[in-house]
Amino acid sequence: MYAVRNWLIGGVLIGALASAPSICLGKNLPDSIALDSLAQLYEKVKFNHAKHISMVKDCAECHHHTTGTLVEDANCVRCHKNSNETKIVACKGCHSAQPFSAEALREKENNRRLYHQDKPGLKGAYHQNCIGCHAKSGGPTGCKECHPLKKVGEAFYNTGEYAPRQTPGTEKGHGH
């Protein structure tokens, strides 16, 4: 009788773990991540990873197939059908912070026949993933909601206290 009960409890636990995101399987994941690729002009984006984990069914919703989940897209399966988990699942592991640098452009030129030629840079990857999901779920979508400018950023973009002063009579867009 105890063996049957233990077997049932074990089966329920295994079933629950199998249907949960891979994060439930004991991986050591950060609760919070500072996104700081533009830290010279903007405050770091404080990404609440723990909150986002609780809102998704599978890590691959954000991390594509880098978490070791099976690839289902027919186009991707041609190369990635046996993909293993990668060591770096952060966006910056695949998406270049400087997609138009000489090095990144040279890599694209050398790999013309490969897919991923249209892979966005790091900024594009964040925005495509984040804003699309936020628009559906009611999360923040405005620039300054996630990206407060530092003083040096305000100066660089001529905004805030560094914005050009309006000359009288130019309020309606006349003159410079």
- 14-18, 40-44, 134-138, 169-173: least confidently modelled range: 14-18
If pLDDT is split at 50, 70 and 90, which confidence band does 27 have? low
Average pLDDT, integer, range 62-72: 71
Please state, in angstroms and rounded to a whole number, the distance separating the CA atoms of residues 119 and 75. 15
Question: What domains does the chain contain, in order, with CATH numbers?
Answer: 29-162 (3.90.10.10)
* Average pLDDT across the chain, whole number: 75
Burial of 64 (0-12, 13-18, 19+ CB in 10 A): buried
CA pseudo-torsion sign 42, 46, 52, 53: positive
pLDDT of 118 reads: 75
